[in-house]
A and B are shown apart, each in its own frame.
Chain A
Amino acid sequence: DADVTQTPRNRITKTGKRIMLECSQTKGHDRMYWYRQDPGLGLRLIYYSFDVKDINKGEISDGYSVSRQAQAKFSLSLESAIPNQTALYFCATSEVAGEQYFGPGTRLTVT
Chain B
Amino acid sequence: AQKVTQAQTEISVVEKEDVTLDCVYETRDTTYYLFWYKQPPSGELVFLIRRNSFDEQNEISGRYSWNFQKSTSSFNFTITASQVVDSAVYFCALSPPGSARQLTFGSGTQLTVLP
Where the two chains meet, the residues of A that have a C-beta atom closer than 8 Å to any C-beta of B are 31, 33, 40-45, 48, 50, 58, 88, 90, 92, 94, 96-105
**B44 engages A42 (CB within 8 Å):** no
What secondary structure prevails in chain A residues at the interface with B?
strand
The answer to whether residues A96 and B99 also contact, given A40-B107, A101-B47 and a CB cut-off of 8 A, is: yes
> Which of B43, B50, B99, B105 is A42 in contact with, Cβ under 8 Å?
B105
The answer to whether residues A42 and B101 also contact, given A88-B43, A99-B35 and a CB cut-off of 8 A, is: no
Residues of A within 8 A of B37 (CB): 102
The answer to whether residues A94 and B101 also contact, given A41-B107, A101-B47, A105-B43 and a CB cut-off of 8 A, is: yes
Tally chain B residues at the interface, Cβ within 8 Å.
Answer: 21
The answer to whether residues A104 and B105 also contact, given A99-B35, A99-B50 and a CB cut-off of 8 A, is: no
What secondary structure prevails in chain B residues at the interface with A?
loop
**A90 engages B47 (CB within 8 Å):** no
Q: Contact mask B78-99 → A, CB, 8 Å, 1/0?
A: 0000000000000101000001
> Which of B50, B101, B105, B108 is A44 in contact with, Cβ under 8 Å?
B105
Question: Which of B50, B91, B99, B101 is most buried by chain A, counting CB atoms within 10 A of its CB?
Answer: B101
B11 at the interface (CB under 8 A from A): no
**A43 engages B103 (CB within 8 Å):** yes
**A31 engages B101 (CB within 8 Å):** yes
Chain B residue nearest to A50 (CB atoms) is B99
Residues of B within 8 A of A94 (CB): 101
**A100 engages B47 (CB within 8 Å):** yes
